[in-house]
């Protein structure tokens, strides 16, 4: 018997006829390998529309409640063509002011793509560690920079720009012929007189802004203005333009919305037009990073103290050089000294020696006979320097040895002497020289020509002291034959 291939519609029709002839839904669905709900759907279609309803239908919904109406779509297209710089978010903000039920941002984006007004962007994955760096209030930090521009005849000019970090309010927009020190600083002084004095100003490392990185560091005019007005001048790291990202973004906006379709014959004409654009930018144009409100909404909350702006040409009062803090100490047997209950290692070879300790630039410099023998980081607070014991005269004048019975010994080639069968260290510089030894209490003092060299705690046997003192010049040396 030949096998006959039935079409999909015929198979569905046979299933429907079996049910209509009395077969159960469950048995028929099992026999045809379909779901019971599918068979129910075929029965409803056949009952309402006939045999033609068993043909496959499109999965497209009959209606979409969120579909953009033709009127709104035409309005979106018109707004984009009138303002090529407006993106989907800006257009949506405009529509929200006019419509009660505006479309979504993605709907506006798809509408612009359908009409080929924008190119679809590749989807970028947002970094999880991304953090926005922003000051907490206005007038806390300004970002200042210089951008280039060109007049109609090709002459290059510069625009000194400045923006408030918190509010994105443009505080400086000054066109100058050349971005040298005096024009840039005049633009800064004008902004300070108009808006007030910020706490900090952030710039790059250009020579017009700072001279700290020069071969011979110096305070340029911009630095002096900041110092005279109590402004902390911050610098970016070299080759790090993202640190001043807000002023760089302002430059991009100025080039796109102001210089893209305009040309000017003179600097005065460019300045007049730029002032109008800045007024609109600060008071009318919505800023997306601020929640689609103009920058003035944040900047008007800043407190502007009435302080007199001081020019950088006024000489700064030089601070007197800090007075050095110098004290004297004697090195103990462990080779250490004590400063305000903190112990610092100097060296065992200087045990019993007087040293000078100088506190400067967060360091303690230990000097012995005019030579720095140790340098340590200061452990106490700088305000406690005045509490250090000041005895520089004691440190410079070596102590005299104690008067009393003394014996002489010759320093061996190891830099030591022997007394009562025990060796005591003197120092390699004194090898071969004759030194005097005195017993003072439980210590042994070693001197040369009336100058105390070392003081050791006695380690020898006390019973041998009589024999050692009985030979003032030591045992006679044996002559080898």
The pLDDT assigned to 83 comes to 86
The residue ranges of every structural domain in the chain are: 8-54, 70-114, 141-299, 325-396, 406-469
Confidence check: pLDDT of 401 > 60: no
Assess contact for 350 and 373: CB atoms under 8 A: yes
Helix then strand count (H, E) for the chain reads 13, 17
Average pLDDT over residues 60-87: 84
Confidence check: pLDDT of 168 > 80: yes
Backbone angles phi, psi at 409, to 5 degrees: -140, 155
The pLDDT assigned to 475 comes to 65
Measure the CA–CA gap between 300 and 96, rounded to whole angstroms. Answer: 25
Confidence check: pLDDT of 370 > 90: no
CA angle 103, 106, 109 (to 5 degrees): 100
Assess contact for 371 and 365: CB atoms under 8 A: no
Q: Which residues lie closer than 8 Å to 261 by C-beta, 6 or more apart?
A: none
Confidence check: pLDDT of 389 > 80: no
Q: What does DSSP assign to residue 440? A: E
Confidence check: pLDDT of 467 > 80: no
- Of the listed ranges 168-182, 299-313, 408-422, the least confidently predicted one is 299-313
Confidence of residue 176 (pLDDT cuts 50, 70, 90): very high
Average pLDDT over residues 206-224: 85
| Mean confidence (pLDDT) of the chain | 83
Measure the CA–CA gap between 252 and 449, rounded to whole angstroms. Answer: 81
For the CA atoms of 24, 28, 30, 34, the dihedral, rounded to the nearest 10 degrees, stands at -120
Closest CA to 309 of 203, 221, 223, 190: 190
- Of the listed ranges 194-198, 349-353, 401-405, the least confidently predicted one is 401-405
Assess contact for 257 and 277: CB atoms under 8 A: yes
Average pLDDT over residues 169-183: 93
Strands 170-176 and 156-164, sheet pairing: antiparallel
Confidence check: pLDDT of 350 > 80: yes
The pLDDT assigned to 393 comes to 42
Own/partner pairs, 129-135, CB within 8 angstroms, 24+ separation: 133/245, 134/165, 134/166, 135/165, 135/166
Edge-to-edge order in the sheet of strand 354-360: 325-330, 354-360, 363-368, 371-377
Q: Do domains 70-114 and 141-299 have the same CATH topology?
A: no
Confidence check: pLDDT of 9 > 70: yes
Closest CA to 465 of 420, 428, 413: 420
**pLDDT tens readout for residues 121-167:** 776 666 665 566 788 889 999 999 999 999 999 899 999 999 999 99
The pLDDT assigned to 132 comes to 66
Average pLDDT over residues 224-233: 90
- Domain 70-114, CATH number (from 1.20.58, 1.10.10, 1.10.3470, 2.40.50): 1.10.10
**pLDDT tens readout for residues 422-432:** 888 888 888 88
The pLDDT assigned to 2 comes to 39
Q: How far is CA 71 from the centre of its chain?
A: 50
The pLDDT assigned to 267 comes to 93
| Residue of 293 and 382 predicted with greater confidence | 293
Looking at domain 141-299, its CATH architecture is 2-Layer Sandwich (3.30)
């Amino acid at each position: 018997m030949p096998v006959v291939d039935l079409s999909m519609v015929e198979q569905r029709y046979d299933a429907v006829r079996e049910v209509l002839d009395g077969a159960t839904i469950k048995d028929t669905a099992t026999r045809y390998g379909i779901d019971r709900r599918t068979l129910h759907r075929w029965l409803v279609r056949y009952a309402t529309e006939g045999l033609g309803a068993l043909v496959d239908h499109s999965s497209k919904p009959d209606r979409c409640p969120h579909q953009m109406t033709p009127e709104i779509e035409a309005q979106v297209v018109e707004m984009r063509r009138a303002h090529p710089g407006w993106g989907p978010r800006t257009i949506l903000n405009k529509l929200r002011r006019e419509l009660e039920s505006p479309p979504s941002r993605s709907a506006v984006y798809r509408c612009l793509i359908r009409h080929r007004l924008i190119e679809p962007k590749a989807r970028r994955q947002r970094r999880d560690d991304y953090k926005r760096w922003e000051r907490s209030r206005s007038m806390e930090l300004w970002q200042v920079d210089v951008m280039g521009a060109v007049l109609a005849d090709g002459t290059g000019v510069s625009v000194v720009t400045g923006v408030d970090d918190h509010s994105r309010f443009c505080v400086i927009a000054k066109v100058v012929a050349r971005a040298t020190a005096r024009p840039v600083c005049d633009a800064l002084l004008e902004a300070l007189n108009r808006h007030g004095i910020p706490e900090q100003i952030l710039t790059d490392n250009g020579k017009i802004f700072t001279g700290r990185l020069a071969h011979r560091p110096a305070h340029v005019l911009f630095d002096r203005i900041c110092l005279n007005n109590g402004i902390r001048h911050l610098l970016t790291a070299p080759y790090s333009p993202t640190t001043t990202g807000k002023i760089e973004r302002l430059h991009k906006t100025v080039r796109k919305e102001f210089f893209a379709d305009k040309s000017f014959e003179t600097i005065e004409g460019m300045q007049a037009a730029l002032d109008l654009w800045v007024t609109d930018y600060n008071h009318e144009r919505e800023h997306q990073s601020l929640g689609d409100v103009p920058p003035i909404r944040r900047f008007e909350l800043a407190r502007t103290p009435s302080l007199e702006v001081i020019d950088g040409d006024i000489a700064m009062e030089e601070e007197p050089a800090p007075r050095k803090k110098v004290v004297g100490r004697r090195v103990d047997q462990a080779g250490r000294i004590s400063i305000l209950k903190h112990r610092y290692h100097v060296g065992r070879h200087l045990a019993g020696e007087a040293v000078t300790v100088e506190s400067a630039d967060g360091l303690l410099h230990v000097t012995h006979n005019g030579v720095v023998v140790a340098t340590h980081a200061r452990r106490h607070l700088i305000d406690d320097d005045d509490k250090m014991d000041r005895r520089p005269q004691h440190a410079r004048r070596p102590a005299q040895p104690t008067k009393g019975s003394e014996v002489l010994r010759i320093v061996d080639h190891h830099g030591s002497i022997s007394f009562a069968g025990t060796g005591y260290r003197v120092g390699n510089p004194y090898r071969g020289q004759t030194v005097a030894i005195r017993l003072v209490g439980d210590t042994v003092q070693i001197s040369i020509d009336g100058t105390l060299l070392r003081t050791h705690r006695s380690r020898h046997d006390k019973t041998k002291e009589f024999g050692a003192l009985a030979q003032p010049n030591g045992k006679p040396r044996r002559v080898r034959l």
